[in-house]
Structure 1
Amino acid sequence: MEKIIIYSGLAGLATCLGGLLVIWVRNPGERFLASTLGLAAGIMFGVTILDLLPSAWIFGTPTKFFAGLGSGILFMRLLDAILTQTTPRLPRTRDPIHFLHMGYLVAIGIALHDLPEGMAIAVGYEATEELGLIIALAIALHNIPEGMAIALPLKIGGAKAKTIIFIALLASFCTPLGTLAGMVLISFSRHFISFLLAAAAGAMLYIVFAELGPESKRRHPNFAKLGAVLGMLLIGLLSLPV
């Protein structure tokens, strides 16, 4: 019990490492912004297609799968609308509020994603301790670029370093929280995990196509595409069987 929570907690804290990497980069140019936002979009899309959606389909029923997917998209759409209505707006290319808004959405999407990831650690550990450790390591590697995805729009929006790390830290707590929840849910049914995996997938797809993707293209289309391809390749490599 204690070991798996430690594994999960360390995997979650890798999100903060990704945030620190972004903070250390000073005065990023348009090409860097486009490629990094594209990288974040590619990573999130890759995780969704290669990990979340297949796992959600396998663990549950079509009903749970599509209900979760739709719920995730709807949740993020409603949250996006609420944030838009409660914050003043300027043209996106020079609006720091827009990037703070984007950073909050990314953080929430990744936090939702980290919950079922934590559950995956619990499921693996339930089989063997070694499998739980391997899954935790893979998730830690995923979480570094995800921390960058949270930090970059917040930094562009003018958020202070301590605020960025605090938000990344809050997101990182969702991994061990998901592990605890997973250990409880496993005793009942694994079908609960299907809905959560699909909901996280829906949330991340909304972020990719409504926020990260369009913004990276506005910065520099070619570097946005390069970043997206590299992000998907990175997740593809991490998803290879060990």
Structure 2
Amino acid sequence: MMADLPWEMLAMAWAAGLCIPLGGVIAQLERSHETHVKRSWLAGITALGGGILLAAVALVLVPRAMESLSVLPLLGLFLLGALVFMQLDRWLARSGDARGQLLAMLMDFIPEAIALGALASASPAAAMLMALFIAVQNLPEGFNAYRELEGAGLTARQGLGAFLLLSLLGPLAAFSGHLWLADAPRLLGGLMAFAAGGILYLIFQDIAPQARVVHHWSPPLGATLGFMIGMLGERLVG
């Protein structure tokens, strides 16, 4: 198995994961005063990530799941994903600590990285598209997570060091997917359906509400731009 391992896949997964600490670096460097314009810009970045996630659900996860699953398992796993993510979201809300944003970020990062690894041999183009989705969504999520950790009192070294370690979960998850799911299309489809349901829940529960600023109407255009990025990526490599 190691001889057949596509090392490009591990590089793509790690590059996508490195967008988490990169988002933290941007948050560390961004020190301007809180203004209405800044709030609108941050809301637009959040909406951009939400649009890319929606594109990942609509263009990659659900279509691939529908190819390998019959109707009942497809709908059941999709709903199960939403219910599991809802329970995790409720637990995070009750805990109220700075790990909430980190865990929410990992809730979509790890399943997608597993899917990337499983797709690497059968469909390199789809794996590349998945890596693009993961990278672009990790950037704003890393930005927001770093701001929360910083608000909880963590130093820049602690926050960025933790993010760098988290980026290693990308190649580890991708390797796991390549090792155990590459030849199991139904299991991979089930994982994609589960992740799609959970991500769709997160979009409307956590991401979309943050993309709105009172008396400012442009930030939600970020979601449109994010979905356009997804369509472009799918057309280029699909």
TM-score in same-fold range (> 0.5): yes
Amino acid at match of 1:110: F
Q: How does 1:80-91 map to 2 (within 5 A)?
A: 80-87=89-96
Paired position in structure 1 for 2:44: 35
Paired position in structure 2 for 1:13: 14
TM-score (normalised: structure 2): 0.82
Determine which of 143, 151, 157 is the counterpart of 2:142: 151
Whether the 8 Å contact between 1:56 and 1:198 is mirrored in structure 2 is: yes
Whether the 8 Å contact between 1:106 and 1:150 is mirrored in structure 2 is: yes
Unaligned runs of 5+ in 1: 89-96, 125-131
For the residues of structure 2 that align with 1:227 and 1:102, how far apart are their CA atoms?
20
Paired position in structure 2 for 1:117: 116
Q: Which moved more, 1:136-145 or 1:198-207?
A: 136-145
For the residues of structure 1 that align with 2:21 and 2:13, how far apart are their CA atoms?
14
For the residues of structure 1 that align with 2:8 and 2:54, how far apart are their CA atoms?
25
Change (3 A) 1:221 1:112: farther
Change (3 A) 1:5 1:54: same
Unaligned runs of 5+ in 2: 33-37, 151-158
Whether the 8 Å contact between 1:5 and 1:176 is mirrored in structure 2 is: no
Amino acid at match of 1:62: V
What is the CA-CA distance between 1:34 and the residue it aligns to?
0.8
For the residues of structure 2 that align with 1:110 and 1:199, how far apart are their CA atoms?
13
For the residues of structure 1 that align with 2:180 and 2:216, how far apart are their CA atoms?
41
What is the CA-CA distance between 1:220 and the residue it aligns to?
7.7
- Percent identity (aligned): 20
Amino acid at match of 2:188: I
Whether the 8 Å contact between 1:103 and 1:153 is mirrored in structure 2 is: no
For the residues of structure 2 that align with 1:135 and 1:10, how far apart are their CA atoms?
15
What is the CA-CA distance between 1:62 and the residue it aligns to?
0.7
Runs of 4+ with deviation above 6 angstroms = none
What is the CA-CA distance between 1:192 and the residue it aligns to?
1.7
For the residues of structure 1 that align with 2:116 and 2:168, how far apart are their CA atoms?
16
- How large is the RMSD of aligned CA atoms in angstroms? 2.3
Paired position in structure 2 for 1:139: 130
Whether the 8 Å contact between 2:105 and 2:141 is mirrored in structure 1 is: yes
1:91-129 CA-partner distances (Å, limit 9, x unpaired)? xxxxxx4xx4133212212212222232122333xxxxx
1:104-159 CA-partner distances (Å, limit 9, x unpaired)? 212212212222232122333xxxxxxx3x34433332222122143022112034
For the residues of structure 1 that align with 2:21 and 2:174, how far apart are their CA atoms?
19
Q: How does 1:150-169 map to 2 (within 5 A)?
A: 150-159=141-150, 160-169=159-168
Q: How does 1:198-237 map to 2 (within 5 A)?
A: 198-218=193-213, 222-237=217-232
TM-score (normalised: structure 1): 0.81
